[in-house]
Chain A
Amino acid sequence: MQLAKNKIRVRKGFNINLEGEADRILVDLPESKTYGISPDSFFNVIPKMLVKESAKVKKGSPLFFSKNNPRITITSPVSGSVTAILRGEKRKIIEVIITSDNRNESETFETKDYVKLDEKSIKELLLKSGSWPFIRQRPYNTIASPEDNPKSIFISSFSTLPLSFDYNFCLKNNQDEFQLGVNVLKKLTLGKVFLAIDNTSKGFFDKIENVEKIYVEGPHPAGNSSVHIHNVDPINYGEKIWTVNPEDVVNIGIFFKTGIFSCKRTLAIVGSSVKNPKYYNSSIGTSVKNLIDFSNINYKNSRLISGDILSGKQVGPDNYIDFYSNTFCAIPEGDKHRFFGWIPFVDNFIPSMHKTSLSWIKSNKKKYKVDTNLNGEERALVVTGEMEKVFPLDIFPMQLIKACLNQDIERMEALGIYEIIPEDFGLIDYGSTSKIEAQKIIKEGIELMLKEVG
């Protein structure tokens, strides 16, 4: 699969062309009245609150820290006051809500001379400002632990997901900040910083220096960091690799340029229930209501998703956009019956990666309007080989899923659980004949690994 050095051609995979992709238009989203941070956005973070309700916070003021590693703090994306700390069962914190005071007050940090700073002080600045959670680690995709020295850092500059996000377009005015962010990250590893670039549309990322570039082409999941890591610098037992989203590299860059915590978040508001899908300049923690009000979403009888369509989280109008999400999808709910819809080669308006539907004939050009119908019922695993077709790693996906179901830690480890994250199983979920929930199974497997092995 790996061609020359630093060139990857992915063959196994599938592109789903959906209606409702964002036009290349970037507009400002009006400021949200309230902002929300959900501890659930951060995998394996058990929050310990640092503020009480009605406390005043500035942008960059700490809200809570992780019990697993108290150095990791999550800070406020806006200045204002904490209006609510919503709790669920067993008093679990679900959401911290901050009402903006429109004053734009921020905590400031001394970052001007970052070039002279050593690794330790850079980490300290990132941790204190709340920029640290931008860096996530493999295995497991948790927030990186600041005590580690990763063997390399991976940035994937493109997405191959359905209704994908175009970083090249959204960050084209932030090239300098991106370069600055890369330079900072370079100080955090003894190894290389890898930048994966779409070989068919390189854009400004090709001009970035101080990185090792990987050129990738092929269908989804070619844009997933797991694919790049697996091909270029595979993870071994005990090793750590860090990943950062391109926009968060920019955020880190802005932070070191200005000394102010940057939580810029460009949102692609997409899906067939959105009238004019486009990109919006926004901030982390924006409220869903704010989006609905300004972006022409037909949200009644629609599924609202914070994140991408294959792995995102279902949200309601009262919720907030997930910390890491840069996509917001709205598609129709599919709670309707289809008469004899299971007959092969009928209902070809539903995209299918299987040849028992004729939708593949035009699938390269045609854009499909999809809903959330399961298109069948859950069944025992019968069909084999369908997972491997969309899983371009040298890992046996079905065997790994079964190991996770059996909670067999040793086998999960042997089959490569360190090299994947649930999102890599998005297409497996999608294409499963037996309608299994692979991402959920893998997530539970990883949670077990975290609990038992750590």
Chain B
Amino acid sequence: MKILREIIDKVKGPFQKGEKFEKFAPAVNAFDTFLFVPNHTTKYGSHIRDAVDLKRTMVTVILALLPALIYGIYNTGYQYYYQTGEEFTFLDAFIHGSLKIIPMIIVSYVVGLTIEFGFAVYRGHEVNEGYLVTGLLIPMIMPVDIPLWMVGLSVAFAVFIAKEAFGGTGMNILNPALTARAFAFFAYPTYMSGNKVWVSEASNIDSISGETILGSLAAGQQVDFSTSEMFFGSIPGSIAETSTLWVLAGGLVLILTGVGSWRIILGGFLGASIAGILFNLWGLNELMSFSWINHLFVGGLAFGIIFMATDPVSAAQTVKGKWIYGILVGVFCILIRVFNPAYPEGVMLAILLMNVFAPTIDHYVVEKNINRRKKRWALNQIKTA
């Protein structure tokens, strides 16, 4: 390690303060701090600090995403071979999926990190780790057959408009990954919906097609998938959201490590369940009478609630606010699914909508605290007067 350290210190020479390439220091530091936790010591306040940092927190989210990603890669191959009718092994499916998905992840990271590094150098601050998660999330929520250049363009839009325009990590109002998906959804609707995008190669081979369960229901068609298929995830859909089981496994990681808010997650499922049950009772159309339990398993609901609604920057920040925010995400998700056949999956729009309202929810929670204090002051004045 010592030799590696010496090499890095040597490389960093020209990037030090006052040296020739000082401006590019954030870019070099990003690589350095990836290898080594820096030797910075405390200057103000507490003399000792917790072992946690933002890198550790973000990497925990990536760990939580891995089960869903691995299953998503497998399912991509599975759906393809299932349609073509070819014999296949787990490895075949996995390789097929990898060849499709890994390029998407690479494009997402290269485009996104290039912009992030550019902004870090331009603004003179360190590169934030937030994009490590966003960059993985974006391909995971896209249809598998989307062209790579669209992935790149969506990433660029999300990082520029949703994140950096607001001031960078920690300042954004909307979840960047969902913004990327929303951009692709509205800019290239034909690549984001219908029955020719969800199964690998469907856009190239005529015999392959597949609609998501929610898409079929919105079109008034019956679905012939069982509840267990919906739960385990061998269904067409965006890459990594199909398997509720593996998404929940990731959710468990987030809750146990305390990285994701269990209040938002529980609130989200609670809200969706309540809305689902109420619509089941009402039962006007296919989507309304679709069992509320199945509502929880299909589409991106679980993935959205566990990995996107819990984004601490765009979610509500107070404890009570998190409950309200979570529940409303769940309710709105089902509401959009049921009432708007043009958007068969409501979770993306529900979360983006609640992202916008999260500061308002917090405002009222904080305001309540303030009023309680002011009331105490007023009571006290009466007492002493």
Q: Are A433 and B53 in contact (CB under 8 A)?
A: yes
B110 on interface, CB distance cutoff 8 Å: no
Output the nearest chain A residue to B32 by Cβ-Cβ distance: A337
A335 touches B54 (CB 8 A): no
Stretch at the interface among A131-139, A177-185, A318-326, A372-380: A372-380
**Size band of the interface chain A makes with B:** 35 or more
Chain B hits for A379, CB < 8 A = 53-54, 126, 128-129, 169-170
Give the residues in chain A near B165, CB-CB below 8 Å.
none
Q: Is the CB of A376 within 8 A of B53?
A: yes
Within 8 A of A (CB), among B341-385: 366, 369-370, 372-374, 376-377, 380-381
Question: B322 → chain A, closest Cβ, in Å?
Answer: 8
Chain B contact-residue range equals 35 or more
Residues of A within 8 A of B372 (CB): 394
Chain B residues near A399 (CB, 8 Å)?
366
Known: A343-B56, A379-B128, A385-B312. A310 touches B46 (CB 8 A): yes
B63 CB–A CB distance under 8 Å: yes
Closest chain A CB from B39 CB (angstroms): 5
A343 to B118, CA, bound (A): 25
Chain B min CB distance to A443 (Å): 9
| Distance, CA A62 to CA B366, complexed state (A) | 47
Inter-chain contacts of A376 with B (CB < 8 A): 37-38, 49, 52-56
Q: Quick one: which of A343-370 are within 8 Å of B by CB?
A: 343-344, 347-348, 350-357, 359, 370
B7: Cβ under 8 A from any A Cβ: no
Grouping DSSP codes into helix (H, G, I), strand (E, B) and loop, the A interface class, with mixed when no group exceeds half, is loop
| A186 interface hit (Cβ, 8 Å) | no
Query: Which of B40, B54, B373 interacts with A382 by CB under 8 Å?
Result: B54
A329 within 8 A of B: yes
Q: Is the CB of A430 within 8 A of B46?
A: yes
CA distance A6 to B107 in the complex (A): 62
Nearest A residue (CB) for B363: A399
Option from A336, A347, A396 in Cβ contact (under 8 Å) with B51: A347
A219 at the interface (CB under 8 A from B): no
Interface 1/0s, chain B 218-257, versus A by CB < 8 A? 0000000000000000000000000000000000000011
Binding stretch for chain B, among A45-53, A140-148, A221-229, A434-442 = A434-442
**Contacts A337-B38, A344-B63, A377-B126; A303 near B47 (Cβ below 8 A):** yes
Asked whether A440 lies within 8 Å of B170 as measured between CB atoms, the reply is no
Contacts of B47 in A (CB 8 A): 303, 305, 309-310, 312, 314, 329, 331, 372
A162 to B48, CA, bound (A): 11
On whether the beta carbons of B1 and A357 are closer than 8 Å, the reply is no
Q: Is B35 located at the chain interface by the 8 A CB criterion?
A: yes
Stretch at the interface among A166-174, A197-205, A234-242, A243-251: A234-242
Contact B376 A426 (CB under 8 A): no
Q: How far is the CA of A380 from the CA of B168 in the complex (A)?
A: 9
Q: Do A430 and B36 touch across chains, with their CB atoms under 8 A apart?
A: no
Q: State whether A344 touches B40 (Cβ < 8 A).
A: no
B135 to chain A, nearest CB (A): 16
State the CA gap A234–B375 with chains docked (Å).
12
> Are B53 and A352 in touch, CB under 8 angstroms?
no
- Least distance between A240 CB and chain B CB atoms (Å): 13
- Complex Cα distance, B313 from A426, in Å, reads 23
Taken residue by residue from 378 to 391, chain A's Cβ proximity to chain B (1 for < 8 Å, 0 otherwise) reads as 11111111001000
B283 within 8 A of A: no
- Say yes or no for A395: interface residue by CB 8 A criterion: yes
Partner of B259, one of A340, A356, A370: A356
Judge if A339 is at the interface, Cβ distance under 8 Å: yes
Assess A374 versus B366: contact at CB under 8 Å? Given A310-B47, A356-B56, A396-B318.
no
The residue in B40, B169, B171 that gathers the most chain A C-beta atoms within 10 A of its C-beta is B40
Bound Cα distance from A351 to B48, whole angstroms: 10
Asked if B40 contacts A377 (CB within 8 A), the reply is yes
Are A430 and B48 within 8 A (Cβ)? yes
A426-B44 Cα distance, complex, nearest whole Å: 11
Q: Does B319 sit within 8 A of A, measured CB to CB?
A: yes
User: Is B258 touching A356 in the complex (CB atoms < 8 A)?
Assistant: yes
Known: A236-B376, A355-B257. A311 touches B53 (CB 8 A): no
Beta-carbon nearest neighbor of B4 in chain A: A339
Per the bound structure, the CA–CA distance linking A7 and B216 in Å amounts to 61
When C-beta atoms are compared, the residue in chain B nearest to A314 turns out to be B47
**With A236-B376, A398-B317 in contact, is A385–B261 under 8 Å at CB?**
yes
With A355-B258, A382-B130, A385-B319 in contact, is A377–B42 under 8 Å at CB? Answer: no
Q: Which B residue sits closest to A427, measured CB to CB?
A: B46
In the complex, A342 has a CB within 8 A of chain B: yes
Chain B residue with the shortest CB-CB distance to A434: B54
> Is there contact, CB below 8 Å, between B39 and A234?
no
Residues of chain A with a CB closer than 8 A to B35's CB: 339-340
Q: Nearest-CB distance from B175 to chain A (Å)? A: 13
Q: How far is the CA of A331 from the CA of B48 in the complex (A)?
A: 9
Question: A339: which of B1, B256, B370 is its contact (CB, 8 Å)?
Answer: B1
**How far is the CB of B255 from the nearest CB of chain A, in Å?**
9
A380 touching B63, Cβ below 8 Å: no
A127 CB–B CB distance under 8 Å: no
**A115 at the A/B interface (Cβ < 8 Å)?**
no
Knowing A342-B37, A380-B168, the reply to whether A374 touches B42 (Cβ < 8 A) is yes
A279 → chain B, closest Cβ, in Å?
21
What chain B residues lie within 8 Å of A311 (beta carbons)?
Answer: 45-46
Q: A343-B56, A380-B170 are in contact. List 10 more A-B contacts (CB 8 A).
A: A239-B380, A331-B47, A354-B50, A355-B256, A370-B48, A376-B55, A377-B53, A396-B369, A437-B45, A439-B46
Q: Which residues of B contact A (CB under 8 A)?
A: 1, 4-5, 33, 35-57, 59-60, 63, 126, 128-130, 168-171, 256-259, 261, 312-313, 315, 317-319, 322, 366, 369-370, 372-374, 376-377, 380-381
3 closest cross-chain pairs (CB), A and B: A376-B53, A380-B170, A341-B37
Q: List 25 A-B contacts (CB under 8 A).
A: A309-B47, A334-B41, A341-B37, A342-B56, A348-B51, A350-B51, A353-B50, A356-B258, A357-B56, A370-B48, A373-B42, A374-B42, A374-B49, A375-B51, A380-B128, A380-B168, A382-B169, A383-B54, A385-B317, A388-B319, A394-B369, A396-B366, A430-B46, A433-B53, A438-B45
